[in-house]
Every structure is written in C-alpha cells, then in structure tokens.
Structure 1
Amino acid sequence: MTIPGLIAPGALAPAAPSAPVGLRVLGLDLSLTSTGVCLPDGTTFRIKTRSKDGDRRLLVIRTAVRAALVDHRPDVAVIEDLPKHAMAAGLTAKVHGVVLCELLDAGVPYAYVVPATLKSYACDHGNADKARMAAAAYLAAGAEFADDKGGDQCDAWWLRAAGHDALGGPLFAMPQAQRDRLNKVEWPALSGQPYVRGAAACS
C-alpha cells in the first residue's frame, strides 16, 4: 500500500498481542499534520501531511483511511475525541468530518474516547504526557513505536486496546480501576456482540 504522505509502519517489539477472533479494532488519533493509526493487527503508522498543501491534506488522510478500511476491514473504529477549548480543535474537526464520512460509507461503527479518559485508562492519570503513555504501552505489552515524536501512534495503539477491552476482547491485563474508566465511553453495539457497560473482563 503506497500512499503519498504515509509514513512506514512503526515497530512493535515484541509483536503486538493478536486480536481475539471475530473482533477487529482500528485505532485513530486524528490530526491534520500527523494522524496516528493502529490497524486491527496492532501495526501502527502515521499519516504525515505538509502544511503547504493546505486543505488538500484532507485528501491524503481520506485516501489512507479508506485504504485501511478496505484492506483491513475493522469491526469498529475507536477515535480520540476533539480537544475542548483548544484553538486546534477547528482544524482537527475537518479531519474528523472526512474520516467519519469514510467510516459511515464503509458501515464501520465508531466510538469516541476523550483524551483524559484514554490517559486515565492507560496510565491512571488524566494528564499523562506522551512519554508516560509510551512507557505504559511498553509495560503492558512490550510495544514500542518508531518515528513517533508526537505520540500519535502510541495514542492510536491505546485506542485500539481500549476498544478491545471495552468490547469484550482485552489484549492484556489492566487494573480494574483503570478499565472502569472506559465505562464513560458510549460504545457501539456490534453485530452479535452487544456491549454491556462494565461486563468486559480480562482473565
């Protein structure tokens, strides 16, 4: 898959935990300059765009997301929600609109996770920084991310993990108090897999 602006997949070492059969989750940390993506198999990459291309950057992001949907056929997408009271929210909203159109066209349900909830789930701290999020990913599953200065791939990885956890297919053990933070999210009911708040369990 060769797409202009697409950065090579990040390294996960060791290999990411395999997804439970029947549940394929796509993690998306959307940004106009560097969108983080975690595919259903745990592979991560960035969709990097150039500011000089203006709104045409939306086409690069749309094309990459469309390719991910066609090639990897996720059951659900988990998206980091827009930041509140942030000047960048307007620019990021453009990306959300384009990506939601692709998800709706593909019939892929989605859930939004606000940044504080994702950080609390991953690190038990709603203001955790990028370094702490990356350290938590390594401790949870030995995951590491190449070319991820902004933490976009790491956030997408955690979004995928959150989706698996909340929808009944956790990839690794997490403290119950942190897992309970996901109850704040409105998760979609998947075909044959209705979601019940608080019902997901990790053995």
Structure 2
Amino acid sequence: MSTPPRILGLDLSITATGVCLPDGTVHTIATQQKTGDKRLKDIELAVLQAAPDVDLAVIEDLPTHAKAAGVTGMVHGVARLTLIRYGVPYVLITPATLKAYATGKGNADKTAMAIAALKRAGREFADDNQCDAWWLRAAGLDWYGHSEFDMPKAQRDRLGKVTWPALAAGVAA
C-alpha cells in the first residue's frame, strides 16, 4: 500500500485564509485591516510553516473576473511564491469546480458546502474558509487515489477539469 500524499488546502483571503493541514486539521488565519499590507506577512508565515511538510498545495483559484486585480491577487502571489521557494507544487481549482465536486452544483452556497462536509465525513467547521480549505485537501486526496470518504462518480469526475501535477517520486498518485 502506498503512502497518501501530504496535501495542504488553502482558501486564500486577506481577511480570513482557511488552511487545512495534511492531517486534516483546519484553522483560519484572521488578519486585521488596520495593519494594511503587513497582513500578507501573516499569511506568508502560515504557508511557510506548512510548506516543508507537504507534497502538494491545493488552492482555490480567483474568480475569473478578478484574476488580474485586487488584494486577493496579492495574497495568491505571496502564497504561491512561498510554495515555489520550498519546491512545493500547487494546483488551482476554480470555485465552481470545487463546489461541484463537494455538492454536485457549481453554484452551491456556503451552507451547502458545510452540509456536504457534515454528510460525507461528519466534519463541522468554525467558518466557511476552513470548510473550503478542507474540501480542497479532500479533492487532492481523491484525485490521487486516497479519498477519505465515498463520493459520487459524477462529482468526482469534476476533478478532471483541473490540471493536476505529477507528484514527487515515492509519493502515491
């Protein structure tokens, strides 16, 4: 039996980044607006602390209409640069694909995502950022053949829209 990949789930946001560590532990990096762009350092530190222990990061992509601008784009830049520095490959999953994987509907709301996590795995979260980060990790594990719970084939097939990287030698895929 092969070892499952160590996957980090990141739901990036300047105010509340959701993080799901490879062991399934979730937390939120909450930042204060009054500290301005220094909030980026808090997010960088969290990614920096996790990066050495992961094989892949699964990141919720920016919505199409926001790809080139905004504060969330800066957060993505900081997180991606930190992962690159540590040689950690990452993959982007659009919000619609993540929602379709989790719930069967690409336009699912935050409540539907939480209900799906409770129904599939008995998991509850303090906020929707943690929930999304957890689903990102779950999608990565599922794609590489190490799902922690059953998913309908139609929902699993949604992950085929993502360009998944090859994992390092010795890591199960």
Query: Is 1:96 equivalent to 2:73 in the alignment?
Result: no
Q: Is the 8 A contact 1:24 1:75 kept in 2?
A: yes
Asked if the contact 1:82/1:89 (under 8 Å) is kept, the reply is no
Amino acid in the other structure paired with 1:46: T
User: Does residue 21 of structure 1 match 2:21?
Assistant: no
Corresponding position: 1:41 with 2:42: no
SS in 1 for 2:124: coil
Structure 1 113/100 Cα, relative in aligned 2: closer, same or farther at 3 Å?
same
8 Å Cα contact 2:3/2:172 also seen in 1: no
Q: Which residues of 2 match residues 42-191 of structure 1 at below 5 A?
A: 42-70=24-52, 73-86=53-66, 90-146=70-126, 148=127, 151-191=128-168
CA contact (8 A) 2:19 2:26 kept: yes
C-alpha deviation, 1:45, in angstroms = 0.3
What stretches of structure 1 of length at least 5 have no aligned partner?
1-19, 196-203
The structure with the largest helix share of the pair is: 2
Contact 1:23/1:75, CA 8 A, preserved across alignment: yes
Instruction: Give 1:21 shift.
Output: 2.6
Distance 2:118 2:152 in 1: 16
Contact 1:33–1:50 under 8 Å retained in 2: yes
What is the rounded CA distance, in whole Å, between the counterparts of 1:89 and 1:194 in structure 2?
36
1:6 corresponding residue in structure 2? none
**Aligned residue in 2 for 1:10:** none
AA in 2 matched with 1:78: V
SS at the partner of 1:169? coil
Change beyond 3 A, Cα 1:181–1:87: closer
1:83–1:89 contact (8 Å) kept in structure 2: no
Q: Residues of 2 paired with 1:190 and 1:158: CA distance?
A: 19
SS of the equivalent of 2:70 reads helix
Q: After the TM superposition, which segments of 4 or more aligned residues of structure 1 sit over 4 Å from their partners?
A: 86-89
Identity %: 59
Cα distance in 1, alignment partners of residues 137 and 146 from structure 2: 11
Gaps of 5+ in 2: none
RMSD over aligned Cα atoms:
1.7
Q: CA deviation at 1:89?
A: 5.2
Aligned length: 171
When the two structures are superposed, what TM-score results if normalisation uses the length of structure 2? 0.93
Shift of residue 67 of structure 1? 1.2
Distance (whole Å) between structure 2 residues aligned to residue 181 and residue 87 of structure 1: 21
